[in-house]
Structure 1
Amino acid sequence: MKADPTAQRRLLDLAGLDAELARAQHRRRTMPEQTAVEDAETTVRAHRDAVVTARTSVGDLGRDVAKLEQEVAQVAAREERDRGLVDSGSVSAKQVTDLSHELDTLARRRAVLEDAQLEVMERLDAAETDLAHEQAALDAAETALADAVERRDGVLGDIDVLEARRGAERAELATTLPEDLLALYDQLRARTGTGAGELVGARCGGCRIEMDRNEIRAVAAAAPDDVVRCEQCGTIVVRTEKSSGKASV
């Protein structure tokens, strides 16, 4: 293949733009800001689960307290009724004795219920404290996530701008290149990641390997408009004033 030496030199500009675009794509795939967002999301999920667990515990204990309060109230109401009957003098001596026994039983039952109520209320207080702590931790984690997302989106915005700008420059530059030369360059770049490289001294700009003497002689003997390829990597070798001996064009 032949191509004007000036067009071949423009391949270096194209390769530079493609390298910058490749770095931007790599940056997008591996950006630590995205990792920070994912870590923050994991933390938020963990705290949300903890808040749900704590809220469930508070709800369960609250219902237990309410149930015990109702049972205590029922026993107290029964005590008040029995005591009223005893004090009224309207019941027989046997009934008074029975009511007195029942009052003793109710008093013991109320004491047990009140102890249980106090224990559950203490657990409820502790659960509410845990819930407040977990909610505060969740709020902090969500704030950290929002900050991480903002930083990531800022970096993504910069990458978007760079890719748009360099992409437009590449498209414009590509229109100045011969179609067959551009097609070969794109084919090589898709295969190896590098379509063209500058020959600096005897070193290929694609694979960074020094050419041997026979290859250098072949490059030097090539016409200025010959499209030369590296024997090692197949990359288009662009000859410049930095190239060895008569290989320069």
Structure 2
Amino acid sequence: MKAELAQQRSLLELAELDAELARLTHRAANLPEQQSYDTVQADHREAGDRLAALAIALEDIDSEVARFESEIDGVRQREDRDRKLLDSGSVNPKQLEELQHELETLERRQASLEDSLLEVMERLEQMTGDRSGQTAKVEALQGDLSAAGFARDQALAEIEDLRGVRAARRNEIVSGLDSALVALYERQRATSGAGAARLLGHRCGACRIELDRGELARISAAAEDEVVRCPECQAILLRLGGA
């Protein structure tokens, strides 16, 4: 196959564009901004889970408070009833003794319930503070997540803009190349990832392998417009020197 030097230069630019497009694709798939977003998202999710757990725990404590308050109220009502009976003077000595004993028991029960309620209220206060702190953390992380998402989207948009420019230039180059040369280039690119590369001294610019003297002599003897290929990776070798 023959290819004029102008075609070879265009093919080299095409290869360089494809290499840049591949780098852009890799960069888009491995954005530091995406990694930062993922980290903040994980922190935000963890903080949200913690906040949800606190909300459930607070509901349980509220139930405990309501139960203790209800029990204390019941004990007080019984105390009030017994005291009214005592104050009425209508009880006999045996009933009086029983009422006094029951009042002592109720007072101990009330004191125990109030102590338990106090402990629960202290836990409630602590956990309410924890929830406030956790809510603030979730809100702060939401702000961080929005900022990280914006930075990621900006980076992706810049990559897509550059990719659009390079893809347009690629189409322009391909339209000006011989179709058979393009087909050969594309087949090779599909096989090894590099369709063409410059001959760099004694090395193939695609696979970076140093060619032996026999191959170099064969390549040197080929006509300037002859399409030659690397004996190792089969990429089209472009003998353009410093051009």
Tell me the TM-score range normalised by the shorter chain: over 0.9
Gaps of 5+ in 1: 244-249
CA deviations 1:37-84 (Å, max 9, x no partner) are 111121112111211121111111111011101110111111111111
2: CA distance, partners of 1:107 / 1:197: 96
1:112 deviation in Å?
A: 0.8
2: CA distance, partners of 1:109 / 1:202: 97
CA deviations 1:15-52 (Å, max 9, x no partner) are 11111101101101222211111111211121112111
SS of aligned partner of 2:177? coil
Counterpart amino acid of residue 18 in structure 2: D
2: CA distance, partners of 1:109 / 1:67: 14
Q: Which runs of 4+ in 1 moved over 6 A?
A: none
Which residue is 2:68 aligned to? Answer: 68
Asked if 1 retains the 8 angstrom alpha-carbon contact of 2:194 and 2:206, the reply is yes
Counterpart check, 1:218 vs 2:226: no
Counterpart check, 1:28 vs 2:16: no
Alignment root-mean-square deviation, CA: 1.6
1:208 deviation in Å?
A: 2.5
Which residue is 1:199 aligned to? Answer: 199
2: CA distance, partners of 1:178 / 1:217: 27
1:98 deviation in Å?
A: 2.1
1: CA distance, partners of 2:191 / 2:100: 99
Same amino acid, percent of matched pairs: 44
Asked if 1 retains the 8 angstrom alpha-carbon contact of 2:199 and 2:241, the reply is no
Asked if 2 retains the 8 angstrom alpha-carbon contact of 1:86 and 1:96, the reply is yes
2: CA distance, partners of 1:241 / 1:121: 84
Asked if 2 retains the 8 angstrom alpha-carbon contact of 1:3 and 1:225, the reply is yes
TM-score by length of 2: 0.93
1: CA distance, partners of 2:8 / 2:231: 18
TM-score by length of 1: 0.91
Which residue is 1:178 aligned to? Answer: 178
1:4 deviation in Å?
A: 2.6
CA deviations 1:208-236 (Å, max 9, x no partner) are 33333222222222122211111122110
Asked if 2 retains the 8 angstrom alpha-carbon contact of 1:36 and 1:148, the reply is yes
1: CA distance, partners of 2:200 / 2:102: 108
1: CA distance, partners of 2:242 / 2:117: 90
Counterpart check, 1:6 vs 2:21: no
How many residues align? The count is 243
Which residue is 1:19 aligned to? Answer: 19
Counterpart amino acid of residue 126 in structure 1: Q
SS of aligned partner of 1:127? helix
1: CA distance, partners of 2:210 / 2:105: 102
2: CA distance, partners of 1:131 / 1:21: 49
1:203 deviation in Å?
A: 2.9
Which structure has more RCO (C-alpha within 8 Å, separation ≥ 6)?
Answer: 2
2: CA distance, partners of 1:239 / 1:166: 24
Asked if 2 retains the 8 angstrom alpha-carbon contact of 1:201 and 1:242, the reply is no
1: CA distance, partners of 2:77 / 2:66: 16
Gaps of 5+ in 2: none
